Amino acid sequence: MSGPSRWRFNPVVLDRDPPALELVSKLLHLHFRDEKTKVGGDALQLMAELLRIFVVEAAVRGVRQAQAEDVTLVDIDQLEKVLPQLLLDF
């Protein structure tokens, strides 16, 4: 990789973003069998941070794959190529 990277990430701090925490909470509750299941605040923040790291890592790996293929735009093809290893790593 030569020269400065043109890819910049501005990660959202999810524990200070109530709409993001609400979204993570709703996503979790979609998969609970018992609708009375509750998620504590610490668990919700931890899950939000895990999802943030997962998405950032997917983006970084997609960029690296695009650079290896000498393309300037990351699209679904690059993400599909990095997804199997990413899922194994998480």
What residue ranges do the domains of the chain occupy?
14-89
Q: What does the pLDDT look like over 27-70, one tens digit per residue?
A: 898 888 888 888 888 888 899 889 989 999 999 999 999 999 99
Q: Which CATH architecture best describes the domain 14-89?
A: Orthogonal Bundle (1.10)
In which element (H, E) is residue 54 found? helix 41-68
pTM, to two decimals: 0.72
> Is the C-alpha dihedral spanning 76, 80, 85, 90 positive or negative?
positive
